[in-house]
Amino acid sequence: MADGFYCTESVNACFDELECNATNNEFERIECFGSGNSMVSAIQSEQRIREMVEKQIQHLPRHDYLKRLRCGALDSKFRRDAIDWISKAHAHYSFGALSLCLSMNYLDRFLSEYHMPMDKSWSVQLLSVACMSLAAKMEETEVPLPIDLQVEEPKFVFESKTIQRMELLVLSRLKWKMQAITPFSFIDYFLTNITVEPHEPRLSLFKSSQLILSTIKGIDFLEFKPSEIALAVAMSVSGVVQAADINKAILAFPYMEKERVMKCIELIRDFPLIGGSVPQSPVGVLDAACLSYKTEELAAGSCGNSSSSSHDSPDSKRRRLDRDHERTHKTE
């Protein structure tokens, strides 16, 4: 049973660094990259891909984040619990794949920059709600109220005002760069340019989506940049498994680091998915991933947020964030 509306001094302590006199004009600082993040986008030029390869480091956690997770300086269980909570809310509302990817990106970037009270059970849920809410506002056409994102009888139920203040803290720490570059920014381009076998584009995109989401939940793939994950996934989906073929495929993208992409491919091959099994090949990974998704989702074309669907423009996303946080300022 939830503990009513949980709003105490310990929660408010999270906001000590937040400048509460922020104005609505600050939302114009949100960095947008147009529709480049969508699962299915217009055919991208190589120049555009190169630009995103250069810019992607602006949307990554701090360079020491993975090391701190591995050595215990940061509690990896906090991250796992947050991702579990985000995944439940994501599934409950049937949000697109990109919303889940963005929310995890926000989570990792924030944890790498800000010390949350990880010994407090409420902090996992509060941060998770904020990250999922922000991602949904960026990518979904229908967005529930933040308070309604607290699904499955949570232990704590936070007031909307508290959640919105947490959102502002996340926005501030991420420097308002919310249209992050993710593996989904690159996957369509890579699939189009390395496919070596006859394939159905939507099926390849669907498989890529599930594999990307599976990889980014674990900490091991934090070692790689979004473009490296995307290229490794695209080659796995396209059936590029022989060393010579892998080498040839990578050479087609001279701006990519061959050794890092090959290391990512090896990690995908060894990545356990369902039931603790370790697929023997990338195809095995894909088959396992697809088992957990309903076939009618593919038939409906629900491979995540697509520019072929009614996708919000950057301006409308700014207005949505602006509108939501305007309510916060009026109530304070």
Tell me the three-class secondary structure of 199-217, residue by residue. CCHHHHHHHHHHHHHHHHC
Mean local confidence (pLDDT), 157-179: 91
Listed in sequence order, the residues at least 6 apart from 67 whose beta carbon sits closer than 8 Å to its beta carbon are 73
d(C-alpha 81, C-alpha 69), whole Å:
14
Tally of domains in the chain: 2
203 lies in a domain?
yes
Please indicate, yes or no, whether residues 175 and 69 belong to a single structural domain of this protein. yes
**pLDDT score of 221 more than 90:** yes
d(CA 265, CA 228) in angstroms, rounded, equals: 9
CATH code, 121: 1.10.472.10
Give dist(CA 264, CA 231) in Å, integer: 9
Tokens of 320: 């949505």
Structural contact between residues 137 and 104, judged by C-beta atoms closer than 8 angstroms: no
**Same domain, yes or no, for 176 and 273?**
no
Identify whether residues 205 and 103 lie together within a single domain.
no
- Whether residues 85 and 72 fall in one domain: yes
Note whether 174 and 127 are same-domain residues: yes
pLDDT at position 271 is 73
Contact 136, 27 (CB under 8 A): no
209 and 143 co-located in one domain: no
**Higher confidence at residue 231 or residue 2?**
231
Does residue 180 have a pLDDT over 90?
Answer: yes
Asked if residue 230 belongs to a domain, the reply is yes
Is the same domain home to 212 and 316? no
Q: Find out whether 305 and 97 touch, Cβ atoms under 8 Å.
A: yes
Q: Is 296 exposed, middle or buried (0-12, 13-18, 19+ CB in 10 A)?
A: exposed
Query: If 0-12 CB within 10 Å is exposed, 13-18 middle and 19+ buried, where does residue 287 land?
Result: middle
Q: The domain containing residue 259 runs over which residues?
A: 183-293
Q: What is the pLDDT of residues 272-318, one digit of tens each?
A: 652 233 334 444 444 444 333 333 343 344 344 433 333 455 555 55
241 in any annotated domain:
yes
**Is residue 83 located within the same domain as residue 148?**
yes
Q: Cα Rg for the chain, rounded, in angstroms?
A: 20
Is 268 inside a domain boundary? yes
Q: Which pair of tokens denotes residue 183?
A: 């593996």
Same domain, 131 and 210: no
Does residue 315 sit within a domain?
yes
Kindly state the average pLDDT of the residues 263-270. Answer: 90
Where does the pLDDT of residue 13 fall: very low under 50, low under 70, confident under 90, or very high at 90 and above?
low
Query: Do 316 and 176 reside in the same domain of the chain?
Result: yes
Domain contains 300:
no
Q: Do 118 and 205 belong to one domain?
A: no
> Which pair of tokens denotes residue 28?
């114009």
DSSP 8-state code for residue 70: H
Pair (70, 148) in one structural domain: yes
